[in-house]
Amino acid sequence: MLPGSSSSSTDINLGDKMLAVLEQWDDASGCHTSNIGKYFALLLFKSGLDTVVFFVCSRKKYTHFPSMCSLSITLADLLLTFLLAAVWLLGAERSFVSPCYLLANASAIYGALPLPMMCLGLLDYCSEETRLRNQTAFCKLLRNVVLTLLVWMYGVIYSFGSVTAEQKELDYLGGKALVCEVEESTLTKVFILGLFTASLFALLPFWSSIPRWVREADKIYEAQEAQKNQRSDLFFTQSAETKSSEENYQENISPRPPMCFSLTLAFLMFWMPYLVMSVACLICGIAVPAYISVNLLWLECFNSLLEGVAFWVKSKSQMPYSNLPENLCSWQVYWHLSKGVGQPQLSAAIFNPSEEETLYSISVCKEIPSKYVISREALP
């Protein structure tokens, strides 16, 4: 669901089905109003927002299925906006299809996408532990292109079998209205409400400690950013000072949050505003068709949830699991918050080792005592 979607108030909510009001006539004044421009503005806003989210937040590594889905939704939004603009400018008499045909089929197609995208996205992360992990980047790219096309083909076939794009004339607000039946995405509503409710229950037991943990996570993040600015891989510190600073740091974050809650907090620090706004729209009864509610914000939120679960599972047996694609949430920061790894300047060195990077040791010169040098292999 998108912020600002209140402009869809021309839709009449009938459960999972809605009636999109295309045109209105006022019996008293004889005034005629066309709402096609409003739907175009709504689609233009959604397309622009998804494009911004794609370039700012989405990973460009299409070896992961959700990344390819993000690209496909962005392109589909642009295409749908262009088609509706053409129909609006040409008029119902000269256009190749009616506005009702576009909106009804678009809502059915987008409404069919969430379930296969969620299932295939989950399988994509599970396949990281199978033989499919050893596939080349080109094979993964080809696989994701084929799967994405199959998902959209499923949506198109579903729309052909379920949509009756017929305009109907109804009495509406003291006049007549030309309406078209569109669909909501029930799965996205259930996902958002369920995730929001589960998040609230997860926060309640640790409510009083959250501000302090967030401040400590910010300190770790600042240490990470400061460490990235340094060019040297050597860390010089006096052993007594190191021990003292580690003890102080351990005291600051004691008691530490459980790993599961810590990663939940990392997720909510980024996605809570989106969840709150989406739930507020649902509570207010704002009618949002599927071609609006199925967007990149929803997809990236689901992708972050999958990555958080994968990070949590792998972190039980490994140092912060960093073979995942780049994400919006600071998983490594909150992993260190939970584990309580010592001095943040030292822990920052292992935040983001790339999958291809080979860990190496740094030779110690005779003039430098070994206790003053920490190699990457020596880090926890």
In this prediction, what percent of the chain has a pLDDT beyond 70?
71
Number of domains in the chain: 2
Q: Are residues 146 and 256 in the same domain?
A: no
Predicted pLDDT at 325: 55
Parent domain of 224: 194-286+295-378
**Within a domain: 189:** no
Predicted pLDDT at 136: 82
Q: Are residues 167 and 225 in the same domain?
A: no
Predicted pLDDT at 41: 94
In the predicted model, what is the mean pLDDT of residues 42-54? 93
Q: Is the pLDDT of residue 279 over 80?
A: yes
Query: Tokens in use for 75?
Result: 């392109």
In terms of pLDDT, which residue wins out, 188 or 257?
A: 188
Q: Are residues 160 and 219 in the same domain?
A: no
Predicted pLDDT at 344: 40
Identify the domain boundary among 183, 213, 245: 183
**Within a domain: 335:** yes
Q: Are residues 225 and 371 in the same domain?
A: yes
Q: Are residues 135 and 266 in the same domain?
A: no
Predicted pLDDT at 111: 94
- Kindly give, in sequence order, each residue whose CB lies less than 8 Å from that of residue 10, ignoring residues fewer than 6 positions away: 20, 21, 35, 38, 39
Q: Are residues 57 and 121 in the same domain?
A: yes
**Within a domain: 245:** yes
Q: In degrees, to the nearest 5, what angle opens at C-alpha 85 toward C-alphas 82 and 90? A: 125
Q: Are residues 141 and 201 in the same domain?
A: no
**Within a domain: 101:** yes
Predicted pLDDT at 38: 92
Predicted pLDDT at 14: 54
Identify the domain boundary among 119, 152, 183: 183
Q: Are residues 213 and 76 in the same domain?
A: no
Q: Is the pLDDT of residue 148 over 70?
A: yes
Q: Is the pLDDT of residue 172 over 80?
A: no
Q: Is the pLDDT of residue 298 over 70?
A: yes
**Within a domain: 126:** yes
In the predicted model, what is the mean pLDDT of residues 163-169? 82
Enumerate long-range contacts of 83-87, CB under 8 Å, 24 or more apart.
84/36, 84/39, 84/40, 84/43, 85/40, 85/44, 87/36
pLDDT in tens, 302-327: 999 998 888 888 777 666 655 565 56
Q: Are residues 24 and 161 in the same domain?
A: yes
Q: Are residues 176 and 205 in the same domain?
A: no
Q: Are residues 176 and 223 in the same domain?
A: no
Reported as a pLDDT band with limits 50, 70 and 90, residue 364 is very low
Identify the domain boundary among 183, 212, 230: 183
pTM strictly above 0.85? no
Q: Are 321 and 315 in contact (CB under 8 A)?
A: yes
Q: Are residues 271 and 363 in the same domain?
A: yes
pLDDT in tens, 12-26: 555 556 888 888 887
**Within a domain: 261:** yes
